[in-house]
Amino acid sequence: MSAPRGGGRGRGRGRGRGRGDYYTPNDRQDQHQPQQQAEPEQSAATSSTVDLLKGFLARRYDASTKLLNFSAIATDEEVAKSGMFRQESTQKKFFPALMVICDQMLETREAKEAAIESVTLCGNNITNLNVVFDLCKTLNHIKNLDLSGNAFHSVNALKPWKGRFRKLEHLIIDPFSSIGWEDELTAWFPKLKILNGSQVRADKPAAGDAAMVTDAPMTATPQPMAGAPGSTPSLPTTTPTFDQQKEDMITYVQTATNLKRDYAIQCLEAGAWDLNRAGELFTQSQPNLPPDAYN
């Protein structure tokens, strides 16, 4: 015998719509409580990271030389505590985040150009540009760059930056074993003048001499030895002269560093004839200077 229709509906409706099948207001509040608790924690962590990066930039910026010193990042006490530069996976996050903070602190291109002219990344033991690639996005206007003390296996490791730093004039990097790497690297940066303390491209001449010099890399032309068949007596090299103020600066740098005149001039030119900047650049390039650079 079948059950009464009304009774069946009543029991089914009661079971289907019992209190256990609906969320009460308290149930909804309990469900969202973990998410609400997580949001302040996440916000606090983000704020802590931002403070860490801002503090790092403040410690590593020298306003007098317009230098950002990113050397040996892993040895920075606060960065070491955070573990953000301990391995490549976290390094790849650290540097882009650092550049974001830099963008926030110096919002316009003009502000960046006025504040920063030089960057050193020496002593980080990086093998490729994956970790620091974003430098070419945020600070592609810099004139001086130090990449020494890293572990680039060949010049190809720098290829992602090819043509990126259009105003770069002075580059320091550990020499590679391949032949002609200097010319290749020089061709990538159209304004590069000094590579590891050696002049690789001539300065722009005065307007009347514009046809005499190009931006092509300077290459050494073999000269016959004196007395060899077909050789001609060599003319004495003309020493460039400057106004008295610059001559005094050259003398000062030579006295302070024991550099030969040509190297002292290169150092001053790389530092835009600013003694403080020239001193900073000399300190950076000193490990790579050849013995004959000194008197």
pLDDT in the model for residue 220:
35
At residue 239, the pLDDT reads 54
Quick one: residue 6, left, alpha or beta (phi over 0 = left, psi -120 to 50 = alpha)? alpha
Tens-place pLDDT, residues 214-224: 444 443 333 33
pLDDT of residue 223: 34
pLDDT of the residue at 241 = 72
Collect contacts of 179-186 with beta carbons under 8 A, ≥24 apart. Answer: 181/154, 181/155, 182/217, 183/217, 183/219, 184/155, 185/155, 185/158, 186/217
- Regions of the chain short of the pLDDT cut 50: 1-14, 16-25, 28, 37-38, 41, 205-238
Give the strand pairing for 144-146 and 198-199: unpaired
Helix (H, G, I), strand (E, B) or coil at 125: coil
Write out the two tokens for 202. 């001539």
pTM: 0.59
- Say what the pLDDT of residue 292 is: 83
Give the Cα separation of 51 and 5 in Å (integer). Answer: 70
CA distances from 55 to 77, 106, 114, 202 (A): 11, 15, 21, 40
Which string of b and e fits 197-216 if b means at least 16 CB within 10 Å? bbbbbeeeeeeeeeeeeeee
> Tell me, what's the pLDDT at 4?
42
Q: What is the pLDDT of residues 151-194, one digit of tens each?
A: 999 999 999 999 999 999 999 999 999 999 999 999 999 999 99
